[in-house]
Amino acid sequence: MERVPVLKIGDILLVSIQIDLQDQSVLNLQEDLADRIVATGARGVIIDITAVEIVDSFIGRMFATIASISRLLDAETIVVGMRPAVAITLVELGLSLGGVRTALDLEKGLRLLGVDGLAAGPRDRR
Amino acid sequence: MTDAGATEIPIGSGDDVVRVRQAVREAAGAAKLSLVDQTKIVTAASELARNTLIYGGGGHARVERVDSGLGRAGIRILFADEGPGIPDLDLALTDGWTSGNGLGLGLSGARRLVDEFSLDSAPGAGTRITVVKWGR
Amino acid sequence: METKQDAAAQGAIAELLRRRRDDVLGRWVAIIAATVQGRITERELRAETAELFELAVRVAEEGPRGAAADELRGALGDLSRSRARQGFSPTEIAVSVFALKQALYENMEGGDTDEQAAYRQFIEFSAVMDDLGLHTFETYAAAREQVIADQAESLLELSTPVVKLWEGIVAVPLIGTLDSARTQVVMETLLQTLVDTGSEYAVIDITGVAAVDTEVAQHLLKTVVAARLMGAECVISGIRPQIAHTIVTLGIEFGDIVTKATLADALGYALEHRGVVLGEKRER
């Protein structure tokens, strides 16, 4: 079974989903992330789904669960890079992802977590 | 309707659910569905294939291209299992209802994502669900 | 050029139509009713067809260049227009005319001579050719409709420009009639622009929109929710009093969606949230 790597940058954990995940891999990722948040004391988790073509109720539920778990552990979860077609489909499906923060891309997600200086965004160039 | 181009995929494991998604994506692309419509039908197929696996104890999916006769192409997918069946169809199609530990959006959500949805099930007689998505 | 014989034959048809009026008319109505299958009430159909029948009898008397023929063409024109609006196919409309031939033929009298048999075969063959003619016509109409549909689609794309108002702020000014298909295109174009431009704010301005129905309002709501899922915020501006009234009457919940009176207010809101401060130029 393929496992999605969890990267650590400073006190942020970064997951980039690049493949079509089967349900067990989704559950493994959920577990891995919870373990790593505790082990590293991370204050933020970013899940990059730029490459993800569909988000069904199972993956959507994983996002919400990770967000809840990380909140208990005093970390914040941000899902970044959701494609328009995926967002429209989620709305139609009836999934609101309550409690999950989102950002258009990785850079904006990092800024939401207060990480600056990686690259100056438009706001900082002003 | 001919059988040409119909793909049958057994559903017996989590990897098979992924295989169904890929087959549906391919068929939806070939039928020239818009990106949003492709995403909707693949998502619906993912929900229904998971239901077939978890609640139906496995079964199969059959993916085929259909033509409306008015120049519109679409795809039709049949999900069939020999599982315990669904005792109350109306209840099963209600948002939030679930017999497992899901969110209860599988059936009702999938129905909202497709253009045609038909469900045939009885206790002990398995479940057959057919969905169709038309191009615009 | 009409010969005496033709004129006599015409007179005979008119005479037959008059004499067997109830039978022929009844059969005509029955054939049309079978094609339209309950989409028009029996009573309406009977009244309409009776009127056409009287005109047809006069045409049989006067020939195809008389005043009655003009009147009949006019009546059939009106009928075709109203049927087209009700969504009938060209064939279904044309059958209304052709069916009179069938109804009349079934009510013809006469013995079983060779001439009669040959005539019957001709009528049957004629019906087959009518069907084929209708088929070519139907195909032609379908092809034209496809062209129109394609044009409508490209117009749809042209009519929904998404413009950049500021760094990180885009707007889509909607003008004219919003139907479900167009709103859906707007939704997809807008969301894609958010990604392409990296904009976190979108203004949907509906100042130029005359009316919205439930479906359109739902599409707008879904756009706002989908944008949020992607990490952007939508502001809806320019809701006119009538539309606000419709939204409330329809019981549509706009919830915590930000709405502003004008596009300028919406831009101000987005700028403020982006932390942009605009100062007035002071004269010294």
A17 contacts A47 by C-beta, under 8 angstroms: yes
A36 contacts A13 by C-beta, under 8 angstroms: yes
* CB pair distance less than 8 Å for A91 and C229: yes
pLDDT of residue C118: 79
- pLDDT above 50 (res A124): no
Beta pairing partners, C176:
C209
- Three-state SS annotation for C214-226: HHHHHHHHHHHHH
| Residue A43: band (very low, low, confident or very high) from pLDDT cuts 50, 70, 90 | very high
Residues C264, C171, single domain; the answer is yes
Number of domains in chain A: 1
| Residue A119: band (very low, low, confident or very high) from pLDDT cuts 50, 70, 90 | very low
Mean pLDDT of B16-24: 95
- pLDDT above 60 (res C90): yes
Partners of B67 on chain C (C-beta within 8 Å) are: none
Query: Which of C91, C109, C127 finishes a domain?
Result: C109
Give CA–CA dist C44/B106, Å, rounded.
Answer: 47
Give CA–CA dist A5/A12, Å, rounded.
Answer: 14
Instruction: Give the containing element (helix H, strand E) for B121.
Output: strand B116-121
| Alpha carbon B39 to chain centroid, angstroms | 13
Partners of C231 on chain A (C-beta within 8 Å) are: 80, 82, 101-104, 108-109
Considering A98-102, A104-108, C110-114, the range whose residues carry the highest mean pLDDT is A104-108
Give CA–CA dist C241/B13, Å, rounded.
Answer: 56
| Residue A16: band (very low, low, confident or very high) from pLDDT cuts 50, 70, 90 | very high
* Residue at B79 is within a domain: yes
C194 contacts C229 by C-beta, under 8 angstroms: no
Mean pLDDT of C100-116: 76
Partners of B36 on chain C (C-beta within 8 Å) are: 188
* Residue at C140 is within a domain: no
Q: What is the CATH number of the domain that holds A34?
A: 3.30.750.24
Residues C223, C224, C230, C233, Cα dihedral to 10°:
140
Looking at chain B, which residue has its C-alpha nearest residue C184?
B36
Mean pLDDT of B92-116: 73
Domain residues for the domain of A107 are 6-113
* Residue at C235 is within a domain: yes
Residues C37, C39, C44, C49, Cα dihedral to 10°:
-50
A7 contacts A13 by C-beta, under 8 angstroms: yes
Residues C84, C168, single domain; the answer is no
- pLDDT above 90 (res A98): no
Number of domains in chain C: 2
Closest approach of B21 to chain A, Cα-based (Å): 9
| Residue C114: band (very low, low, confident or very high) from pLDDT cuts 50, 70, 90 | confident
Structure tokens at B39: 């995403």
* Residue at C280 is within a domain: no
* Residue at B24 is within a domain: yes
Nearest to C56 by CA among C77, C43, C73: C73
- Quote the mean pLDDT of chain A: 88
* CB pair distance less than 8 Å for A82 and C229: yes
Domain residues for the domain of C268 are 163-274
- pLDDT above 60 (res B92): yes
pLDDT of residue C256: 80
Picking from B36, B71, B136, the nearest residue to C146 by CB comes out as B71
Cα diameter, chain B: 42
- pLDDT above 60 (res B4): no
Structure tokens at A15: 């997951």
Closest approach of C103 to chain A, Cα-based (Å): 53
Number of domains in chain B: 1
Partners of B46 on chain A (C-beta within 8 Å) are: 54, 56, 58
C226 contacts C191 by C-beta, under 8 angstroms: yes
Contacts of C29 (CB under 8 A, 6+ apart): C42, C45, C46, C49
Query: Which of C66, C93, C109 finishes a domain?
Result: C109
Mean pLDDT of A53-74: 92
pLDDT tens per residue, range C39-89: 788 888 888 899 899 988 888 888 888 888 889 999 999 988 888 888 788
Q: Is C276 on the interface with A (CB under 8 A)?
A: yes
Q: What is the CATH number of the domain that holds C222?
A: 3.30.750.24
- pLDDT above 80 (res C37): no
| Residue C116: band (very low, low, confident or very high) from pLDDT cuts 50, 70, 90 | confident
* Residue at A124 is within a domain: no
pLDDT of residue A120: 46
* Residue at C105 is within a domain: yes
In the stretch 61-90 of chain B, residues with CB closer than 8 A to chain C read: 70-71
Looking at chain C, which residue has its C-alpha nearest residue A48?
C230
Judged by phi (left if over 0) then psi (alpha if -120 to 50, else beta), residue C178 lies in: beta
Query: Which of C109, C134, C152 finishes a domain?
Result: C109
Q: Is C227 on the interface with A (CB under 8 A)?
A: yes
Closest approach of A119 to chain C, Cα-based (Å): 14
Closest approach of B24 to chain A, Cα-based (Å): 12
- pLDDT above 60 (res A51): yes
pLDDT of residue B96: 61
pLDDT tens per residue, range C197-253: 999 999 999 998 888 888 888 888 899 999 999 999 999 999 888 888 888 887 777
Other Cβ atoms closer than 10 A to C67:
10
| Residue B2: band (very low, low, confident or very high) from pLDDT cuts 50, 70, 90 | very low
pLDDT tens per residue, range C236-250: 999 888 888 888 887
* Residue at A123 is within a domain: no
* Residue at C142 is within a domain: no
Mean pLDDT of B96-109: 63
Per-position DSSP letters for chain C, written without gaps between them? ---HHHHHHHHHHHHHHHHTHHHHHHHHHHHHHHHHTTSS-HHHHHHHHHHHHHHHHHHHHH-TTSHHHHHHHHHHHHHHHHHHHTT--HHHHHHHHHHHHHHHHHT------HHHHHHHHHHHHHHHHHHHHHHHHHHHHHHHHHHHHHHHHHHHHHT---EEEETTEEEEEEEE---HHHHHHHHHHHHHHHHHHT-SEEEEEEEEE----HHHHHHHHHHHHHHHHHT-EEEEE---HHHHHHHHHTT---TT-EEESSHHHHHHHHHHHHT----PPPP-
pTM exceeds 0.80: no
* Residue at B2 is within a domain: no
Q: Which residues of A touch C (CB under 8 A)?
A: 80, 82-85, 87-88, 90-92, 96-97, 101-105, 108-109, 122-123, 126
* Residue at A119 is within a domain: no
Nearest to C262 by CA among C236, C225, C232: C236
- Three-state SS annotation for C227-281: HHHHCCEEEEECCCHHHHHHHHHCCCCCCCCEEECCHHHHHHHHHHHHCCCCCCC
Picking from B46, B105, B106, the nearest residue to A54 by CB comes out as B46
User: Which of C180, C189, C230 best probes binding to A when mutated, by most A CB atoms within 10 angstroms?
Assistant: C230
Partners of C153 on chain B (C-beta within 8 Å) are: 136
* Residue at C83 is within a domain: yes
* Residue at C128 is within a domain: no
User: Which of A91, A101, A123 best probes binding to C when mutated, by most C CB atoms within 10 angstroms?
Assistant: A91
pLDDT of residue B99: 54
Judged by phi (left if over 0) then psi (alpha if -120 to 50, else beta), residue C277 lies in: beta
Residue labelled with tokens 């967000």: A67
Q: What is the CATH number of the domain that holds B11?
A: 3.30.565.10
* Residue at A125 is within a domain: no
- pLDDT above 60 (res C13): yes
Give CA–CA dist B16/B19, Å, rounded.
Answer: 5
* Residue at C155 is within a domain: no
Partners of A97 on chain C (C-beta within 8 Å) are: 229
Choose between A110 and C2: higher pLDDT: A110
Mean pLDDT of B44-52: 94
